[in-house]
């Protein structure tokens, strides 16, 4: 729990700070005076004023942040500053100093205001590019894209793919590892159709056509498993056994090598998981190799109901295998290019999923809230720094895209107003902005309730 909480707050701190730095730096570049830069909302806990008169603060509620810029109300001696704007104290203009009216946000041309507001989401996307690039530049090991035997009657089996096939390209795009294969296919599953798979089989390169169903609900079972695709490796090894699980009660221990599951001899991890899931509540005999001694263990997988009503079996074991690995690394320029491509692909995939949620083709259950983010942050930290950096990049892309949506109260809502102003030649009326604010608050409140509800359902499941 402590690891999860620390990881969550570090994630929020990094992403919020970088987002607000985008607003801050572009505002300063445009000549706008910044009164306060705060990480968090509510009561200020720590603050410091720099030589430019900006108050840098850490506030009590760490679920956001803001940059308070000089506005017209701050220039009126008798004006009251709205608490919702989290303004710093009223600033006066010393005798002989430049007229501050030119340094207020509202006095700037519309293009400058547009740039200042857009800078926050853009900086989140740039952060994702940098994070992905850093992983590529440092280098890391990933499993080779060598396939396990596909499940019977699956799209992979129907395409003629076989165990031991090494995937080298998809639609003539080179594939170096299993994660690249998975990500490439996941993007294509967003729209369905087919993919041309180039494989190495018996020393020759062959092409196979894989039929892709449309991805209806990414939160459910592994899409790769639904395609019949699994990662090849040695026999499944029990890495750990969950305390009190059916596997522990049956006598399975860590380092057990599973060499048979039911009637299936020499199963790989994908086969074994599928067999366990298909035998919910049914006796399943496993044969294991324990330090050279062959033993038979009877496991009855416990039934578990998914959100879509499907019942699967779970044994309570974490599996691993000896898998061929490949070193994935790029030079400085290629790392940045790959980082930019991954950021763009992730953003575009997110937008397509959002669009399909609006049309009802994808379940709203895929919307996650802070509880799920905290959970994933903690899990990625336990896996390793690469997993956490990749997770940080993914959330940064999501934050950038979310803030660019044309919803009043978000950065995208303000950008929408500025685009209207560019077309009309004058600002949107106060009445329109007031109604937009009401609509925006309602939409965001509803979105937050839905996200928290989904988080709760995941916890209960």
Structure tokens at 196: 């041309």
In whole angstroms, give the CA distance from residue 309 to residue 379: 26
Nearest to 147 by CA among 135, 130, 160, 129: 160
In whole angstroms, give the CA distance from residue 353 to residue 356: 5
In whole angstroms, give the CA distance from residue 127 to residue 108: 27
In whole angstroms, give the CA distance from residue 142 to residue 152: 27
CB 75 within 8 A of CB 101: yes
Residue in 20, 85, 293, 434 annotated catalytic:
20
In whole angstroms, give the CA distance from residue 94 to residue 212: 68
In whole angstroms, give the CA distance from residue 419 to residue 421: 5
In whole angstroms, give the CA distance from residue 291 to residue 104: 74
Structure tokens at 18: 């970088």
Could you confirm whether 287 is annotated as catalytic? no
Structure tokens at 222: 């592994």
28's enclosing H/E stretch is: helix 2-29
In whole angstroms, give the CA distance from residue 370 to residue 376: 10
In whole angstroms, give the CA distance from residue 454 to residue 325: 36
Which residues share a beta bridge with 210? 195
In whole angstroms, give the CA distance from residue 330 to residue 185: 22
Distance, C-alpha 271 to centroid of its chain: 28
> Which residues 6+ apart lie within 8 Å of 458 measured at CB?
371, 372
Nearest to 345 by CA among 388, 394, 407, 392: 394
Structure tokens at 151: 């499940």
Catalytic residues: 20
């Amino acid at each position: 729990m402590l690891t999860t909480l620390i990881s969550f707050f570090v994630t929020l701190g990094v992403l919020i700070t970088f987002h607000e730095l985008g607003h801050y730096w572009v505002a300063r570049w445009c000549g706008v005076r910044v009164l306060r830069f705060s990480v968090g909302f509510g009561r200020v806990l720590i603050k410091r004023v720099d030589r430019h008169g900006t108050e840098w603060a850490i506030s009590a509620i760490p679920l956001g942040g803001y940059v308070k810029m000089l506005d017209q109300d701050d220039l009126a001696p008798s004006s009251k500053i709205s608490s919702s704007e989290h303004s710093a104290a009223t600033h006066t203009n010393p005798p002989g100093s430049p007229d501050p009216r030119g340094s207020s946000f509202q006095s700037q041309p519309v293009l400058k205001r547009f740039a200042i507001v857009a800078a926050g989401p853009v900086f989140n996307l740039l952060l994702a590019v940098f994070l992905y690039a850093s992983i590529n530049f440092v280098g890391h090991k990933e499993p080779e894209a060598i396939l396990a035997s596909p499940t019977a009657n699956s799209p992979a089996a129907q395409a003629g793919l076989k165990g031991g096939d090494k995937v080298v390209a998809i639609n003539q795009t080179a594939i170096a590892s299993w994660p690249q294969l998975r990500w490439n296919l996941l993007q294509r599953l967003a729209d369905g159709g087919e993919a041309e798979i180039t494989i190495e089989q018996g020393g020759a390169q062959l092409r196979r056509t894989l039929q892709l169903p449309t991805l209806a609900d990414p939160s459910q079972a592994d899409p790769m498993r639904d395609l019949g695709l699994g990662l090849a490796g040695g026999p499944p090894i029990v890495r750990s056994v969950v305390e009190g699980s059916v596997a522990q009660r049956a006598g399975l221990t860590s380092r057990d090598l599973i060499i048979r599951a039911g009637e299936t001899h020499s199963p790989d991890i994908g086969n074994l998981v599928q067999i366990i899931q298909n035998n919910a509540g049914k006796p399943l005999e496993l044969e294991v190799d324990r330090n050279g001694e062959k033993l038979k263990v009877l496991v009855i997988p416990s039934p578990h109901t998914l959100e879509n009503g499907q019942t699967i079996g779970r044994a309570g074991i974490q599996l691993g295998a000896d898998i061929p690995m490949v070193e994935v690394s790029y030079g400085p320029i290629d790392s940045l290019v790959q980082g930019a491509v991954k950021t763009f692909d992730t953003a575009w995939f997110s937008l397509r999923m959002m669009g399909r949620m609006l049309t009802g083709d994808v379940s709203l259950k895929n919307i996650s809230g802070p509880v799920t983010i905290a959970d994933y942050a903690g899990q990625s930290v336990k896996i390793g720094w690469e997993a956490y950096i990749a997770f940080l990049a993914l959330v940064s892309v999501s934050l950038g895209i979310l803030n660019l949506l044309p919803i009043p109260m978000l950065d995208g809502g303000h950008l929408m107003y500025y685009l209207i102003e560019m077309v009309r030649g004058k600002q949107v009326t106060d009445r329109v902005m007031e109604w937009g604010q009401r609509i925006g608050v309602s939409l965001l409140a509803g979105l937050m309730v839905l996200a928290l509800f989904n988080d709760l359902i995941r916890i209960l499941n």
